[in-house]
């Protein structure tokens, strides 16, 4: 059990909270079409023990804008060598599904929910890229928890982003901002703090209809 008082922990709806934070190709001048995921990290948080039980982490090779922009490298810390030769999104989605199975997350009766900072990752980024490449994402990506809404339930403040949430909760920022894996660790720390304050996580968003390519 993680440190400090856990007396406020409440029974949860979900057996596991899967903290996810994509990084994607970007530029400061133009909007890249398609925008493509280049880092795919997920932390499996046990809301009873407050431990991170497992990590899935892959860099993903972009297929269209193969060359990362200087802006993107500067923002994310992801350099060209980290994506060159890495699997495509389609391959990583398969590896991720294998990991979900290995972790017992797809077993009957096991309940999990993705937690993201904002709605962008699962409402826009993944569905749009999948539509562009004619990939059918697994249905488990269709619902998620926007941590900003959870945070707002607890504090009555709707936050701009991860950094304001950390400072409001007096949690130290760890690692590099906009590194997907470091963002996941910081988001997980916010999740754990809300659990310690007795928050019961619930879904905040779902896809109304899958995004289809035209
Ligand atoms: P984040 O999870 O906040 O690190 O951001 C996810 C992705 O959103 C990044 O990998 C970028 O593709 C894009 N992004 C974030 N911040 C910016 C920004 N200031 N300008 C352009 N794109 C951004
Ligand atoms: Mg993010
Ligand atoms: Mg990030």
What would the pLDDT profile of 44-92 be if each residue is shown by its tens digit? 999 999 999 999 999 999 999 999 999 999 999 999 999 999 999 999 9
Within a domain: 16: yes
pLDDT grade, residue 195 (50/70/90)? very high
Q: How would DSSP label each residue in 68-136?
A: PPHHHHHHH---HHHHTTPPPHHHHHHHHHHHHHHTTTTSTT--EEEEESSSIIIIIIHHHHHHHTT--
109: left (phi over 0), alpha (psi -120 to 50) or beta: left
Within a domain: 103: yes
Within a domain: 6: no
Is the distance from the beta carbon of residue 183 to the nearest atom of ligand 1 less than 6 Å? Answer: yes
* Phi–psi pair at 151, nearest 5 degrees: -60, -40
Ligand approaching nearest to the C-alpha of 83: 1
Within a domain: 94: yes
Is residue 47 within 8 Å of residue 17, measured between CB atoms? yes
Q: From the CB of residue 143, how many other CB atoms can be counted at a distance below 10 Å?
A: 14
pLDDT grade, residue 142 (50/70/90)? very high
Within a domain: 214: no
**What's the domain count of the chain?**
1
Q: 75, 76, 125, 180: which to mutate for ligand 1, most atoms within 8 A of CB?
A: 75
pLDDT grade, residue 7 (50/70/90)? confident
Within a domain: 2: no
What is the model's pTM?
0.95
- Hunting for tokens 């659990």 — which residue is that? 195
State percent of the chain over pLDDT 70: 95
Rounded CA-CA distance 105/85 in Å is: 29
Within a domain: 76: yes
CATH number at residue 147: 3.30.420.10
What would the pLDDT profile of 89-138 be if each residue is shown by its tens digit? 999 999 999 999 999 999 999 999 999 999 999 999 999 999 999 999 99
- Residues of the domain holding 49: 11-206
Is the distance from the beta carbon of residue 45 to the nearest atom of ligand 1 less than 6 Å? Answer: no
Catalytic residue numbers, as ranges:
23, 178
Is residue 102 within 8 Å of residue 95, measured between CB atoms? no
Mean pLDDT of the chain: 95
């Amino acid at each position: 059990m993680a440190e400090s008082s856990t007396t406020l922990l409440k029974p949860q709806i979900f057996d596991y909270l899967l903290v996810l934070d994509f990084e994607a190709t970007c530029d400061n001048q133009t909007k890249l079409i398609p925008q493509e995921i280049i880092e795919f990290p997920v932390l499996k948080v046990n809301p009873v023990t407050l431990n991170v039980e497992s990590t899935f982490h892959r860099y993903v090779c972009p297929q269209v804008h193969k060359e990362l922009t200087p802006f993107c490298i500067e923002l994310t810390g992801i350099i060209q060598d980290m994506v060159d030769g890495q699997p495509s999104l389609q391959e990583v989605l398969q590896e991720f599904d294998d990991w979900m199975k290995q972790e017992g997350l797809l077993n009957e009766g096991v309940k999990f929910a993705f937690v993201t900072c904002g709605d962008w990752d699962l409402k826009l980024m993944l569905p749009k890229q999948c539509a562009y490449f004619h990939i059918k994402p697994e249905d488990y990506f269709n619902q998620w928890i926007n941590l900003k809404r959870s945070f707002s339930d607890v504090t009555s403040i709707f936050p701009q982003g991860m950094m304001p949430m950390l400072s409001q909760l007096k949690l130290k920022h760890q690692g590099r901002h906009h590194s997907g894996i470091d963002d996941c660790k910081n988001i997980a720390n916010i999740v754990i703090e809300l659990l310690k304050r007795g928050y019961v996580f619930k879904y905040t968003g779902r896809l109304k209809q899958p995004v289809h390519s035209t």
